[in-house]
Structure 1
């Protein structure tokens, strides 16, 4: 377990500084301070505070957001460009990280580098937080001696992904909120309002209209078997999530997303922007073509597109052009195929892929804006239609109440 040490050091200007560090022993504290460019004067162990505990929330306290990675890349690139050593840069980044969990990970990476691993090898030990794309680009930057420029490219890529996700979420937020509101209103009516009408119609002879019988039947099931309905819904949701994590379920869901009216096009454009941007960034960083295809296939987040890229990679291994097999996969628009073909012929594939990414990012932005303005009236109609249909179903017998009373 790490112990807290109080230290007194002298910096390069001769100024005496004090502070605290967590480490297993004084030797590690001294090494860390020297890596940060300080000369240790005194290192003393602090008394432990027994009542102090660190509260962690699973799934929240141990998360590293894309924004954290983006800031890390930009600051890391700036420090390297300024002439700081790799170890000192990592030590400073670990100290000043706002996300304390991420700071611990950076410190572990620094220790691995200090023990002789390359930066890419140290990053690869944390696959949960550093993707294959991240590790491959850092490895290419190390090999080419341009790690600072590679980190800046990574920061641009991550920021682009953050922006793209934000646009998608903004498009989905309104319909999801309205859908939840509709479900709450319908559930409240079925549980509290419909039973009142059901008791009133129970003493009437005659046959109720079909819509009324359906509403009353659903209400009866909910009111008499609500615990079973909730348990069934939870179990169904759990089984659905388990199925979606399988290869078959994931493939089926990805195909379904592409076929949803309106939203399917948005999913396709988003995936194309991610594919072109990632592929372009990897090629510009010096990653070999086949490796770039494999990494891009893992990052597109859609099995339909991943299958197309796998076919492209198989064809490339056999000496085929990149675009020879793409027409067999309709998820790739003809414009993408044609531009990639031109890029391959002219030797400017990375540049044309970057242009494709920019084009589809603009398309996503335009689609989101159009959806935002279009969905508001549609959702209002859906909300009014759902509630209105139920109200009409309940009041239909009233129009024939005289005939029902005997």
Structure 2
């Protein structure tokens, strides 16, 4: 059922239609549907006789982003707290949405709830947008009569998780993009600029400096083998991406290696601990069983190596071990986090301790990102200067020597 709905959702297209309403007035608009028959069915339910409908080509149907789901959760929490019923609240939210894909999703939730499903059951039909943690918390909120507070908790959790993810991405993508730009500029100089100097140097009749000869040889190599280099540069990341999706063992080893990288490894590890503790704190505080919370926390770490460790923690807890002992046996969690978990288990304040751990390591990630940025900016600029400046000096060095000889 879920797979069928996801496939149907991925085939949605925007349809521009024109028809006549029950008062005989000509009306027109756009709707999101998988086929023309679905458009006709939807408009018939609104008592509109369709005359013309065509799919809009080349235009995006929109995409439901993580931020959209966070806003949806917060809006639903606000409306429920104000006493607005679920169905009426979903309708009000859908009317104010401009993204067709998100509007379709909200209307599908509303349709499922109107047919007798709970809000959690309606969300579970869309696993691409509502993860297990979201569904568990909503189900717990419906059972306890605190759906508004649970939705608020979900929104807060997603906001902090997304902020942490964006900080980590910034630390990883910035130096990578700057280096890629520098390599592209250097390759352009080697392919387009250096050959022109080579033809000019051939008329000198004197031996060229070693740096210039090196630049000319490098230029010849790049011009002769650039298709292979381009193929390797584009195919290698694609192969790694495919390999880690098809082989869990390869993905675990690759991400485990990333955790041991200098500078970046500590930041990635702190981010994994923060996401794990944040998710587990949210589930435990909402009354979700610990085993279910660990299942959600494993997927929230964002690192297969850490996910494997959390799954081992879940297995050990299932066998009767305490959370502290299970976490300690994986050798993935820092000592401070383990001690605070032990205190939380003994005092019955595990959710509060986990939240404090998450806040500490989120702050640690922020500090590490700032330090990395401060260190990498001058290092990357210096490296670019050496790459580009070295080529420029290599090309003008024979001219300077010739001018000195004259």
- Contact 2:312/2:330 (CA < 8 Å) preserved in 1? no
2:45 aligned residue:
28
- What do residues 327-377 of structure 1 show as CA deviations (whole Å, max 9, x unaligned)? 343331110111011101111110100111111111122222223333222
Counterpart of 1:380 in structure 2 is 381
CA contact (8 A) 2:212 2:394 kept: yes
In structure 1, what is the Cα distance between the partners aligned to 2:329 and 2:257?
19
For residue 301 of structure 1, report the CA deviation from its aligned partner: 0.7
Query: How far did residue 62 of structure 1 move?
Result: 4.4
Shift of 1:180: 2.4
Once the two structures are superposed, the pairs formed by residues 1-400 of structure 1 within 5 Å of their partners are: 24=41, 28-29=45-46, 43-45=47-49, 47-48=51-52, 53=56, 55-57=58-60, 61-199=61-199, 214-246=214-246, 247-391=248-392
**Mapped partners of 2:313, 2:214: distance in 1:** 53
Q: CA separation in 2, counterparts of 1:101 and 1:121?
A: 20
Offset of residue 199 of structure 1: 4.1
Classify 1:55/1:193 alpha carbon distance in 2 versus 1 (closer, same or farther; 3 Å): closer
Q: Distance in 1 between matches of 2:119 and 2:381?
A: 53
| In 1: Cα distance, 2:28 partner to 2:116 partner | 28
**In 1, are the aligned partners of 2:43 and 2:50 still within 8 Å (CA)?**
no
**Equivalent pair of 1:5/1:21 in contact (CA under 8 Å):** no
**Once structures 1 and 2 are overlaid, which stretch shifts more, 247-256 or 209-218?**
209-218
Which residue matches 1:32? none
Q: Secondary structure at the match of 2:158?
A: helix
| 1:271-290 Cα shifts (integer Å, max 9, x gaps) | 11111111100111121110
Q: Work out whether residues 21 and 48 of structure 2, in 8 Å CA contact, stay in contact via their aligned partners in 1.
A: yes
3-state SS in 1 of match to 2:128: coil
Higher mean C-alpha displacement, 198-207 vs 170-179: 198-207
Q: Give the superposition deviation at 1:187.
A: 0.7
Q: 1:226 to 1:374 in 2, by over 3 A?
A: closer
User: Cα gap change, 1:199/1:169 in structure 2, threshold over 3 Å: closer, same or farther?
Assistant: same
Choose 352-361 or 233-242, whichever is displaced more: 233-242
Unmatched runs of 5 consecutive residues or more in structure 2 = 1-12, 32-38
Taking the aligned partners of 2:120 and 2:184, their CA distance within structure 1 comes to 50
The offset of 1:80, in angstroms, is 1.8
2:87 match: secondary structure: helix
State the distance in 1 between where 2:250 and 2:394 align. 38
Aligned length: 377
Give CA deviations for 1:86-127 in whole Å, capped at 9, x if unaligned: 222222222222322111111112222222322222212211
SS class of match (1:70) = helix
SS at structure 2 position matched to 1:325: helix
Query: How many Å apart are 1:181 and its aligned residue?
Result: 2.5
Q: Distance in 1 between matches of 2:396 and 2:265?
A: 39
- The 10-residue stretch of structure 1 (335-344 or 369-378) with the greater mean CA deviation from structure 2: 369-378
Aligned CA distance change for structure 1 residues 186 and 85 (closer, same or farther; 3 Å): same
2: CA distance, partners of 1:192 / 1:21: 50
Post-superposition CA distance 1:293-329 (Å, at most 9, x none): 0111011111222122112111111111111132343
User: For 1:9-44, what per-residue CA distance to the aligned partner results, in whole angstroms no more than 9, with x for missing partners?
Assistant: 9xxxxxxxx998966157733xxxxxxxxxxxxx44
**Superposition deviation, residue 69 in structure 1:** 0.9
Structure 1: how far apart are the matches of 2:329 and 2:215? Answer: 48
Q: Deviations over 1:217-252 (max 9, x none)?
A: 432232234334333433333222211323133223
TM-score, normalised on structure 2? 0.81
- CA drift of 1:8 comes to 8.4
Between 348-357 and 377-386, the greater mean CA deviation after superposition: 377-386
* Range moving further from structure 2, 335-344 or 88-97: 88-97
Distance 2:18 2:84 in 1: 26
Mapped to 1, the partners of 2:395 and 2:231 lie a distance apart of 28
Report the CA distance shift for 1:258/1:80 in structure 2 as closer, same or farther (over 3 A). Answer: same
With over 3 angstroms needed to count, the CA separation of the structure-2 counterparts of 1:329 and 1:200, relative to structure 1, is farther
**Contact residue 198 and residue 216 of structure 1 kept, 8 A:** yes
Contact 2:274 2:358 in 1 (8 A): yes
Following superposition, the deviation at residue 257 of structure 1 comes to 2.0
